[in-house]
A and B are shown apart, each in its own frame.
Chain A
Amino acid sequence: MSVIIVILLTAILVLFLHIFEGRQWVNPLAILGLSLSFIILCLENNSLWGDYSSMIYMTQFAKVFTGTAIIFTILVFFINQSRLKLEEDTNNGDKLGLVLFSLCGAILLFTFTNITMLFLGIEILSIPLYVIASSSKHDLHSNEAGLKYFLMGSFATSIILFGMALIFGATNSLDIMTISEYFSQAEISKMAALGAFFVGIGFFFKVAAIPFHFWTPDVYEGTPSIWATYFATVVKIASFGAFFRLYILLGNVDNSPLYKVLVLIIILTVVVGTLTALVQENAKRMIAYSSIVNSGFLLMFFLNPSSDILSYFGLFILGYGLATIGIFSAIVYLESIGNSNGFEGFDGLGRSQPLFSLGVAICLLSLAGIPLTVGFLGKFYLLMSLSFDQWWMILLVIASSIISIVYYFRIFNGMYFSNKKASAIVAPEVVSPYLNFVVGFCALSLIIIGLFPDFYLNIFQ
């Protein structure tokens, strides 16, 4: 609980510090507060959390996911710091405060034990993000991204709520354990099944599975790149963490009607997502489709839930998040020197910034699933978790991974094999040390955890 309190206090402090003197201290303060909350999270015993009238409860799974979300937010704030060196931003405090508030919602999504908390978590996570998405006030793209995100987000929330109401009617309880007991019966009422179906559809919207994905590329492209990083990583982790817990509790796996829908949606997501990513001309949209394909992979973990799956799921999402942050920091750098978001923006980066682009290249390799990285291990464990009856699913993963190399290679190609002279395209400007730190951190942890995954997997025990 003290984790949430520390983050909330930091957010309020950031808002106040922004009004009074000391705008330059806002970003360091936010990073400091988050680091403090991370330390508290590591030191705090799970049992100290209590259960707060059986509203929230910290499990080991929730703890690892909370830690991951906090670290990703710190990395996003480091990227933000690099921008502040270049331009004066009078609204920086508001944005940081909103991001911190939405992080609290994400933590509620990992720890809820009551449907009310699930609903509040989703809303606390989303409402600040609608503002963040349109934070570049005079840019029409940003406004449009905000409005689209708002309409789709609240539409999805209403559908989830309708499902919750039906489940409440069938089980006469809001407590997740009682509901889970009801769903583990052999025979469940039609109303409860319909409710689970609606909740599932709403979450497919939230995690951007095809055919409910159409808002994702628009929102990622329109939102200022720094905050798009937050959308692609922390928000993804939060929605998947909640969805995974719910599915394990309510899924009633094999005979549930949700299972067939899930299989259909996984196939659609991976196939359509991979093919659409191929034809993108904009790096941000390509990343958006790559995140949709990764959603498909993550949904595959839902097919055979077991106790081991939790840690593999965590490993996959960690690899995806770190690699995405690394690539987004390259996009932020290119935007700061005035390059476009197209693939040609990356031309010659390998020659003008060799070390920086090495880090970005490692992130790309990890997303594509090349050995020695976390991305490879995540896909390896994903394949291990599938049974032989699901051989076509295994084929799907392998085929999609091979095709994905093609579109990740387009950035790679631009960085290293472009014919144009480096000085002609990319101004030989120094990369901000903060961006260097973020990319270095992501690349190093991708390799270190890729070589020694046991350390990370053991935290889940």
Chain B
Amino acid sequence: MLMQINHIVPIEHIITLSCILFCIGVMGVLLRRNAIIILMCIELMLNAVNILFATFSAYNGNPDGQIFVFFIMVVAAAEVAVGLALLVLIYRNTRSVDVSLLDRLKW
């Protein structure tokens, strides 16, 4: 079990940091057109969640959150593996990773 230690950094600061990281990730997914950068932004969002889980876990003295972080890491790795494979597939067919090229399907 974790010990309750005196935390120097107030919990609000860490929550704010992770919210900012999450928002940067969301804006990146919505605004950028390069598929690799969108992938990186999704990773950023997942890492913001990781920070949040680890923080709550440490400040509340409940180790469950840190176990959850491991699950998120593993799943994120699997997701990136599939995502990069898809990008390679598309690059072979179009010679580009720009998502705005992929507008054959609409309405």
Contact = CB atoms under 8 A, between A and B. Distances in A.
Interface of A: 115-116, 119-120, 123, 127, 130-131, 134, 137-138, 140-141, 143-148, 150-151, 154-155, 158-159, 161-162, 164-166, 168-169, 172-174, 217-218, 221-222, 285
Given A150-B83, A155-B42, A144 B52 contact: no
Tell which of A130, A158, A172 has the most Cβ of chain B within 10 Å: A158
Given A123-B78, A221-B105, A158 B53 contact: no
Given A131-B85, A146-B86, 11 more contacts: A119-B71, A123-B79, A144-B104, A150-B82, A151-B38, A154-B79, A159-B45, A162-B52, A165-B52, A174-B64, A218-B105
A119 B45 contact: no
Given A143-B89, A143-B93, A151 B29 contact: yes
Name A's interface SS: helix
Contacts of A137: 89
A127 B52 contact: no
Interface of B: 15, 22, 25, 29, 35, 38-39, 42, 45-46, 48-49, 52-53, 55-56, 60, 62, 64-65, 67-68, 71-72, 75, 78-79, 82-83, 85-87, 89-90, 93-94, 99, 102, 104-107
A119 B104 CA distance: 32
Contact of A161 (B72, B83, B85, B106): B72
A158 B104 contact: no
Contacts of A154: 42, 79, 83
A151 B42 contact: yes
Contact of A158 (B49, B82, B87): B49
A395 to B, nearest CB: 28
A140 B104 CA distance: 9
A127 B78 contact: yes
Contacts of A218: 105-106
B71 A130 contact: no
A164 B72 CA distance: 12
Contact of A116 (B71, B89, B94): B71
A116 B57 CA distance: 14
A120 B86 contact: no
A123 B64 contact: no
A130 B52 contact: no
B106 to A, nearest CB: 7
Contacts of A130: 82-83, 86
Given A143-B86, A158-B46, A161-B46, A173 B64 contact: yes
A151 B84 CA distance: 11
Contact of B68 (A131, A168, A217): A168
Contacts of A165: 49, 52-53, 56, 65
Contact of B62 (A134, A172, A222): A172
Nearest to A146: B86
Contacts of B53: 165, 168
A435 B82 CA distance: 32
Nearest to A170: B56
Contacts of B106: 218
A164 B65 CA distance: 10
A123 B82 contact: no
Nearest to B85: A131
Tell which of A123, A164, A165, A222 has the most Cβ of chain B within 10 Å: A165
A116 B74 CA distance: 13
Contacts of B25: 158
Contact of A123 (B38, B68, B75, B86): B75
Contact of A147 (B46, B78, B102, B107): B102
A158 B60 CA distance: 23
B49 A162 contact: yes
A217 B82 CA distance: 22
Counting from the closest, the 6 A-B pairs by CB-CB distance are: A158-B45, A169-B56, A165-B52, A218-B105, A144-B102, A161-B49
28 contacts: A119-B68, A123-B75, A130-B82, A131-B85, A143-B90, A146-B86, A146-B89, A147-B99, A147-B102, A150-B82, A151-B42, A151-B99, A154-B42, A154-B79, A155-B45, A158-B42, A158-B46, A158-B49, A159-B45, A161-B46, A162-B49, A165-B52, A168-B68, A172-B56, A172-B62, A218-B105, A221-B105, A285-B107
